[in-house]
Amino acid sequence: MQTTRIIAIRHGETAWNVDTRIQGHLDIPLNDTGLWQARQVGQALADEPVAAIYSSDLQRAYATAQAVAQATGAPLTPERGLRERGFGDFQGRTFQQIERESPEQALRWRKRDPHFVPDGGGESLVTLRERIACTVDEIAARHCGQQVVLVAHGGVMDVLYRLATRLDLQAPRTWQLTNAAINRLLWTGGNGLTLVGWADTQHLEQHSRDEIHS
């Protein structure tokens, strides 16, 4: 049976993460903490056998992936299919603004309506899941017997967890989507993803945060 090991990483922190501002497809850079997190996750994976790294082409993910590529020596390929969910008119707004300005849409979003599409060219959860599943299948099938790193976004990590655990799109989230955490999955041809380990943040805890500004 052909299998591919996958390390999935959410990008490092951005200023908009701190402000709870929706990023979606907007190209927001890492902040100082995010750059530090990227270096830490790169160092944590430096001795791993990594055949290839695939990253969302948005800079917050790609910069994180570059740190991993520098540490591991693995080739890095931008992959648009790993982008965050498209949030349409929600992009650039905080959770509080959306609740206040678009209460009906906010309610459908909060209830995880799988078919809800934000105005202005957003994606539904169903569309996002299909995009991520297809992208991961294509990448994993390319690297049977190897280990690859995928660097993407919180929404992508959420979908990967649900695919691996067979959880419904509307199931309440009880798992972490921490910036720069290491998540491990196994892909098997014909059976898709299974969960190996989730939200490993040891590499973010064992060094002084004073290094961020050093």
Catalytic residues: 11, 84
Q: What are the helix and strand counts (H, E) for the chain?
A: 8, 6
Euclidean distance between CA atoms 106 and 122, whole angstroms = 13
Phi and psi, residue 91, nearest 5°: -65, 135
Residues with Cβ within 8 Å of residue 3, at least 6 apart in sequence = 144, 145, 186, 187, 188, 189
**Would you give the end-to-end CA distance of the chain in angstroms?**
47
Helix (H/G/I), strand (E/B), else coil: 147 = strand
Query: In angstroms, rounded to a whole number, what is the distance separating the alpha carbons of residues 129 and 189?
Result: 18
129 three-state secondary structure:
helix
Where b means 16+ CB within 10 Å and e means fewer, 189-207 reads eeebbebeebeebebbeee
